[in-house]
Structure 1
Amino acid sequence: SIPSTDTKAQLDDITMSSLGGQKKTPLDAIVQGSTMQAMPTFSNVADKRAFMLEHMAHAFHVFARRGYSEGMAGHISLRDPEFPDKFWLNPLGVHFALLTPGDMALVNEQGEVIGGNKSRPVNAAGFLIHSAIHRARPDVVAACHCHSRFGKAWSAFGRPFEMLNGDAAMFYGDAQAVLTSYGGLVFEESLSDPVASALGLNGRGLIMQNHGLLTVGQSVDEAAYLFTLMERCCEIQLLVEAAAKDGLQKQCIDDATAKHTFETSSDSDSLYCEFQPEIQNEILLRRLKFGSESPGE
């Protein structure tokens, strides 16, 4: 069954005393004036799948522009909306910037490509990592893993980043986890299961020591936004650590404020909406460059 925790309950329905005691979601609370739509609903699963795969491709485009693509490394998985024991993966050896919805491959629990793009293989290590996460976390719809620059650098310390600002508070408490071992490329379940175990039932971001970062979400938009946020948090932590070497004193957010920030701004709907400007910008830039959203169309 899907994990049910106090943290999830707090994020799903928060009472905002400043709004006359009315129960508001974090997304409702941040909006002044007209409402903002979270992830749309669909009348049929085919339309929902098409939308999800389109946003999966957009996430890769954003990652490419930010420099997260590195050789054949890096992957995003997306649980299929109709068959929850199967998920979509990007094909091996295609640059993030070139991926389209039609490039994605649907894999089963054995790692066999059973739908979508069957012309290219998927990353074997990526399948094992994502398979372990999707098995352990039925609430996870999408997971992102890349070897981004600052994530790799900070992961060498094998410890979580601190609550230095509001962005870091999106990973407050057990929402941030650390895997303090590195066994090389993941080619067997004995190496992928510890990834899911380290993430835990409440984790949304995992620092993989000497490796990189991994994030999860209830949409690919949420998971992708959290990845960009986590990468930036690692960058800020490294900058602050360097400045502190000269005697400057760090001032972290106090625990109560970090907890409040987490509870009032990090629900799945809000994080989905946070990523939409990135997608809109990417679509416009690609249309200006290619005349369409993808090269070759």
Structure 2
Amino acid sequence: MSLGGHEATGPRSAQSEAEIRRDLAAAYRVIAMKGMDDGIYTHISARLPDGPSGQKRFLLNPFGMSFDEVTAGNLVTVDESGAILDDPHGYGVNAAGFTIHSAVHMARHDAACVLHTHTVAGVAVSSVKEGLLSLNQWSAQFHGAIAYHDYEGIALDLEERERIIADLGALNVLMLRNHGTLVCGRSVAEAVKLALNLERSCKAQVAALSMGLTPDPLPDDIAAHTAGQYARAYDKTEASDSDPEWDAILRQVDRASPGYKN
């Protein structure tokens, strides 16, 4: 995948609302299954096709539901401000929690999905000045492709959105310092895969640096080469109608938490 943003041109950009709902509900279940949720907080949002009058529409989780309760049918449709357009079960949304997501979606039309987490490993890496290091093949995927945004308090200030967008720029991975991580995907599938890869990279860094031995980062040229290999593979997937990795993830969710499709 190209970690610098650009418009999707393959079949992923033509997904139906039903497909987007299914994938987003599965994303919530995957994040819960991997222990990457934070109670009822943090969000995964997905862009829907514009409404009949050109209205911008996004899907968000019903506020108060845990991630393993989210289904394709109970996702709430909101506009770019977080105002509710459709709420099948009347739960409402955490509009303040959509602050960051709406800013990214509106500034970056290639961001079909925005996934924000507060994991122990992600928060730990976001809390050190060095951020994520290219220590191994996993983290090399993100070499030169992570933006950083300094902590300003709980992200409720609408003015902060402009600074977040400026810091993110054309990249698809943002380390929110002292806070957590945010990734953008050209599809829900891409955002989930990116988030999972980022999480294991952070876990590996925490593990490696806790050993008391000498870290051995990859040379810049090797890390950059590896990042390019990842990028080309993800680009190819997004331009096709086949994603074996996402299909395998969906099968895993089908087995463990099949109610997400409802």
Report the TM-score when normalising by structure 1: 0.76
Structure 1 CA distance for aligned equivalents of residues 11 and 26 of structure 2: 15
Shift of 1:184: 2.2
Q: What residue number does 1:166 align with?
A: 137
1:238 aligned onto 2:211: no
Deviations 1:241-285 (A, max 9, x none): 222xx3x32222222222222222232454754333222111122
For residues 9-28 of structure 1, the aligned pairs below 5 Å read none
Contact kept, 8 Å, 2:40 with 2:67, in 1: the verdict is no
1:250 aligned onto 2:197: no
1:151 aligned onto 2:122: yes
Q: Return closer, same or farther for 1:157/1:40 CA change in 2, 3 Å cut-off.
A: closer
Contact kept, 8 Å, 2:44 with 2:116, in 1: the verdict is yes
Q: What residue number does 2:152 align with?
A: 183
Letter in 1 for 2:115: C
> Secondary structure at the residue paired with 1:157?
coil
Q: What residue number does 2:80 align with?
A: 109
Structure 2 CA distance for aligned equivalents of residues 119 and 131 of structure 1: 21
Structure 2 CA distance for aligned equivalents of residues 296 and 126 of structure 1: 24
Q: What residue number does 1:19 align with?
A: none
Letter in 2 for 1:191: E
Deviations 1:75-125 (A, max 9, x none): 011011234732111111101111101111111123211125361121222
For residues 1-297 of structure 1, the aligned pairs below 5 Å read 48-83=16-51, 85-117=56-88, 119-173=90-144, 175-180=145-150, 182-201=151-170, 203-243=171-211, 246=212, 248-266=213-231, 267-270=234-237, 273-286=244-257, 293-294=258-259
Deviations 1:133-158 (A, max 9, x none): 01221111100012112111221114
Structure 2 CA distance for aligned equivalents of residues 49 and 100 of structure 1: 14
Letter in 2 for 1:264: Q
Deviations 1:190-231 (A, max 9, x none): 123322222111x22111112111111100111111111111
Shift of 1:178: 1.4
Contact kept, 8 Å, 1:125 with 1:185, in 2: the verdict is no
Shift of 1:7: 5.9
CA radius of gyration, larger in: 1
Report the TM-score when normalising by structure 2: 0.85
Shift of 1:64: 0.5
Letter in 1 for 2:165: A
Compare relative contact order (CA 8 Å, sep 6+) and give the higher one, 1 or 2.
2
Count of residues in correspondence between the two structures? 250
Q: Return closer, same or farther for 1:39/1:148 CA change in 2, 3 Å cut-off.
A: farther
Contact kept, 8 Å, 1:106 with 1:117, in 2: the verdict is no
Ranges in structure 2 where 5+ consecutive residues have no aligned partner: none
Structure 2 CA distance for aligned equivalents of residues 176 and 132 of structure 1: 18
> Secondary structure at the residue paired with 1:235?
helix
Letter in 2 for 1:101: A
Structure 2 CA distance for aligned equivalents of residues 6 and 143 of structure 1: 13
Contact kept, 8 Å, 2:126 with 2:177, in 1: the verdict is yes
Letter in 2 for 1:80: L
Structure 2 CA distance for aligned equivalents of residues 237 and 103 of structure 1: 37
Q: Return closer, same or farther for 1:213/1:250 CA change in 2, 3 Å cut-off.
A: same
Contact kept, 8 Å, 2:72 with 2:261, in 1: the verdict is no
Out of 190-199 and 48-57, give the one that drifted further.
190-199
